[in-house]
Copies of this chain bind each other. A is one copy, B any other.
Amino acid sequence: MQAQEGTLAKRDFCDETGTCHKISDMLSRIGDKWTVLIVSYLGERQMRFSELRNTIGNISQKMLTSTLRKLERDGFVTRTVTPSRPPRVDYALTELGRDLLVPVQALADWSVKNADRIEQARARFEQDRAG
């Protein structure tokens, strides 16, 4: 067997057309502390700023604001201002944002399914380090 059927080649996502840069950007973009959590909440329904903050619980205003701004900038969420007193701002996923959830969900499924394999590997690693 010369070429393993299950093996994915580097060029599939790290070729010379900047592909690897794109996937790295995307991963670091959604791999931060809050993005996935926020997107997942907005995946259920539209929410206001304070609602998100209260639901998430331990997020700072600063990080909620900046994460939402980045998501808005990249076209993943919309920001709708209702100019009342007090003001009201609603956030919702765009089509692109809902689209993003599909591959993220796949990675989530993989993570859950293989969590104990990783845990076992870590236990083995610690074991070997101690022994």
A residues in contact (CB < 8 Å) with B = 6-10, 12-14, 19-20, 22-28, 30-33, 36-37, 40-41, 43-44, 72-75, 96, 98-112, 114-115, 117-118, 120-122, 124-125
Contact = CB atoms under 8 A, between A and B. Distances in A.
Do most interface residues of chain A lie in helix, strand or loop, or is the interface mixed?
A: helix
A107 B106 CA distance: 8
Contacts of A12: 40, 105, 108
A6 B98 contact: yes
Give the most central of A14, A74, A106, A107: most B CB within 10 Å: A107
Contact of A27 (B72, B75, B106, B107): B107
Contacts of A33: 24, 28
